[in-house]
Amino acid sequence: MNPRQNDAHQSGSDALVTPGWLEERLETVAADDPELRLIEVDLNTEFYEQGHIPGAVGIDWRRQLQHATRRDLPSKEAFADLLGTHGITEDSEIVLYGDSSNWFAAHLYWMLTYYGHDDVSLLDGGRRHWIESERPTTAEVPSYTPRSYRPGGPFEGVRAYQHDVERALSKPTELVDVRLPGEYEGALITPPGMNESAQRGGHVPGAKNIVWSENLQSDGRFKSPETLAELYRTRGVGKDSDVIVYCRIGERSSLTWFVLSELLGHPSVRNYDGAWIEWGNLIGAPIVTGPEPGE
């Protein structure tokens, strides 16, 4: 039996660890040895300051995982410096979790895959489920010996760009828009409380609206692989499909990319991290408002 699968909820993938698996390894997490490192990734860094899983280091998604002026990924050099500062090497096993149903943790997971890190997992249920299940937290901030981190890649097979979406309009590629129905149909430009915006609302022509939250149970943990496979099969996203997922800024779609690529094993899934902030601001980009014809 896979040692990660020792909770009632079976992960079915080495990409997903259960809270029970992690709790048994908190001493290893807190050791200075870089073998296993735990990272909390938040948009609201006050969460980490109020209390986090013992041994976890904190990463500020907005400040440390987005380019300050281009809203692009960090360069390979900046990424290496960030991870090395937290005592992480390219051989470390990394477990990620965070706020907002693991959106931002999933985005870092995708980024680590882009830069060639092999041994990385998400904590099922993220920060919310860990706390609701009354597992240990602390306000103590750990300090680890800095290490040299040598990223690989970038491996472009997991990333889509504007030109890839443009090609998908006339190719057999499934576009999956994971945003709220109001965003998809153009009634909302941004979700409530968010700032980054686009000039136009709507969706890329032909995109299917499969909201990111459909991947999760009510407690924030992922649905079973069988349930997830059925969800996407019945919505027309076959396992052999070429798939591009997108949202508004790339973090919610990272969660869906994780499900399709890592939990379900779809071989061709790319995350369009330029997302609606890019497409909705392009001059002349084709956009559909309202539901797709025939829906």
Query: Which range is least confidently modeled, 61-70, 165-174, 208-217?
Result: 61-70
pTM, 2 dp: 0.94
Q: What is the pLDDT of residue 295?
A: 66
For residue 62, give its domain range: 16-154
The pLDDT, as a whole number, for residue 16 is: 97
48-85 pLDDT tens trace: 999 999 999 999 999 999 876 677 899 999 999 999 99
Residues 42 and 95 in one domain: yes
Q: Is residue 206 part of a domain?
A: yes
145 and 32, same domain (yes or no): yes
In a domain, 289, yes or no: no
- The CATH number for 242's domain is 3.40.250.10
Residue 4, pLDDT > 60, answer no
pLDDT of 140 strictly over 80: yes
- Residues 111 and 51 placed together within one structural domain of the fold: yes
In a domain, 218, yes or no: yes
**Averaged pLDDT for residues 212-227:** 97
Q: Within this chain, do residues 98 and 210 fall inside the same structural domain, yes or no?
A: no
Just list the catalytic residues: 247
Query: Helices marked H in the chain — which ranges?
Result: 19-23, 26-30, 46-50, 61-64, 76-85, 103-114, 126-132, 162-168, 181-185, 225-234, 251-257, 275-279
Kindly state the average pLDDT of the residues 79-105. Answer: 97
Number of domains in the chain: 2
Tens of pLDDT along 262-276?
Answer: 999 999 999 999 999
The CB density around residue 148, as the number of other CB atoms within 10 Å, is 10
Check residue 262 and report its DSSP letter: I
- Please state the rounded mean pLDDT for residues 138-153: 97
Higher pLDDT among residues 195 and 285, named by residue? 285
Name 279's bridge partners: none
- In terms of domains, do 116 and 32 share one? yes
* pLDDT average, residue stretch 134-140: 98
Note whether residue 4 is domain-resident: no
Read off the pLDDT of each residue in 157-169 and give the average, rounded to a whole number.
Answer: 97
Residues 21 and 113 in one domain: yes
Q: How confident is the model at residue 185 (pLDDT cuts 50, 70, 90)?
A: very high
> How many other C-beta atoms can be found within 10 angstroms of the C-beta atom of residue 244?
25
